[in-house]
Chains A and B, each alone.
Chain A
């Protein structure tokens, strides 16, 4: 992004507040989902986490400018994501794969 003109700054600020609005909405959605009258706890947790992912996605995409970042950065993040999933997935799989006594 090159230098901003003052008018553009106002425009940018408006966009920022829109993002904040969206983030606030998903936050309330998250809280609301946790009180949802659903008997199955796993579903509730799934809903809450889904809202959290959307919320985090907004922060990543707009606030951290990941929508318009360079290939170098994406590559780094892609590897990180794979290892993050590997760490979490494999250690939890290992935990569940223990023979039951």
Chain B
């Protein structure tokens, strides 16, 4: 199309441009949203892998408590000392790995990848802007994120190790553990939260202010809407956690008692605190963020999936307006459901009823989105390429994740399932084969635009089928374990409550349930193997992948495909003018089966 012809002569001229700034300002202190997006992507993917390694070590400990960890055991013993003596994971180390796995995955891997990387790289191009509204602020958000990550990683090596009170950091436990890990965690979180706040201010301003002429709100790609809503959630939900973090930091450092109740006893002795605090206050402030955060994880994923599906079915998304309004509904209601995490805190029936009702209501827009995406497949001429495979798998996987959440949303059934492996299974189905699959789909889909080369289709399929199989083998058994009553956060894989340890007592966990731990361990190892093709494919394709045939290899309609490849500094060769909606595929009367947004009518 236009882009094919326009890119060739200007290509080299614009490529030369970044070099004027020198290495440091081009790649490290860059204010170009695309470079910052890639920085976010690389950093977040590294953290994703790191968080996965933490989990692999924990799965070993769960399946074979007290046995030295193979391969890395001696390294752990050398680096971390007593907590990993002889390569065996101590309960303390298990606790910090658990806390840091959650923290790293949520705050350092998925959110930065979904909002930081995809939001930064794609949003300005998709709305036809030449950069973010505040480029320097954008650079600062990345740097704050990076610093927060460094602080979190450093905390592994301080005496006493990293935070141990779970990613939820409930007080008084978090405050009363006498090591400094929690302090590092809190300081790291303040950095990460500030980074997210600046980033979301930037994304929202960009979308409000810098849309290209003709790009009205209802012509925005759904991905932009999803990022817009997610950014609003970050903007308004994160500050109360920052408050909570500051208050807990005061508890930890200045000896206050915001979350420490009167008469608190630690280790059998009355704690030397003034008391009068409320542990539930922490939970309120924490979940006020952490529930909307779930939707920050899922909304950009839905946005990516919508783009991939529309392009690869060659037909418009079914129910674009329903999608948009549902996303906004999710954003709005997600602020009013948080206390369904707290049914077991002894809350009254009135407030529990309120939160059950809102929780059930929020499932409606989620189902609408899923249904719209599903119906969009109907009658499409589907191209089963790697991004589309991931997108297709996302639909049932997110479906399982969402539906298994319903029993947790009712306070009666939650009494049984709360704090068991069922919960772990549920939210991992939402985030791992859900969000992470969407992110993989996005990486495979936009890789040609970012690098000018395709990733290998064959190894992409190997990666996809391996990931799909092993993810299910890992998380499906957890539902069974959870319903049998197996608690999470047990460093011995709940052996202490099994018939292996306490014979002849009714209600103990059977050896079948405990045996599933072995099964999950090998499935997790399989998942690691399945990621190797991706990692190699990713780096190999940057230089050696098949070159793109044109600037618009997928023949897509949205604006990011109407730029040169890779997009130069400033993105567009001339300011784009938008004439139509985002998904004009297979429009009757046009010579091709797609009409780009910037193609004039006629």
Chain A contacts to B: CB under 8 angstroms:
72, 79-80, 82-83, 86-87, 90-91, 93-95, 97-99
B529 at the interface (CB under 8 A from A): no
- Partner-contacting stretch, out of B149-157, B344-352, B492-500: B344-352
Nearest-neighbor residue (CB-CB) of A93 within chain B: B351
Contacts known (A79-B236, A83-B236); A72 close to B208, Cβ less than 8 A: yes
CB-contacts of B267-313 with A (<8 A): 278, 280-281, 284-285, 288
Decide: A97 and B336 in contact? CB cutoff 8 A: no
Among B208, B240, B347, B354, which residue has its beta carbon within 8 angstroms of that of A87?
B240
Residues of A within 8 Å of B107, CB to CB, are: none
> What are 22 sample pairs from A and B whose C-beta atoms fall under 8 A apart?
A79-B232, A79-B236, A86-B336, A87-B288, A87-B335, A90-B351, A90-B354, A91-B281, A91-B284, A91-B288, A93-B354, A94-B284, A94-B347, A94-B348, A94-B351, A95-B280, A97-B347, A97-B348, A97-B351, A98-B346, A98-B347, A98-B348
Interface string of B321-361 (1 = CB under 8 A from A): 00000000000100110010010001111110010000000
Mostly helix, strand, loop or mixed at chain B's interface? helix
CB nearest to A94 among chain B residues = B351
Q: How many residues of B contact A (CB 8 A)?
A: 23
Which residues of chain B have C-beta atoms less than 8 A from A91's C-beta? 281, 284-285, 288
Chain B residues near A83 (CB, 8 Å)?
A: 236-237, 335
Pairwise interchain contact A97-B236, C-beta atoms closer than 8 A: no
Q: What residue in chain B is nearest A100 (Cβ atoms)?
A: B348
**A90–B347 CB distance below 8 A:** no
Decide yes or no: A80 and B347 within 8 Å by CB, A90-B339, A94-B339 being known contacts. no
CB distance from A82 to the nearest CB of B (A): 8
Q: How far is the CB of B233 from chain A (nearest CB, A)?
A: 10
Note all chain A residues with C-beta closer than 8 A to B280.
94-95
Which residue, B232, B351, B354, has most C-beta atoms of chain A within 10 A?
B351
12 new A-B pairs (CB below 8 Å) besides A90-B336, A95-B278, A97-B347?
A: A72-B208, A80-B236, A83-B335, A86-B335, A87-B288, A91-B281, A93-B354, A94-B284, A94-B342, A94-B351, A95-B280, A98-B348
Report the minimum CB–CB distance from A73 to chain B (whole Å): 10
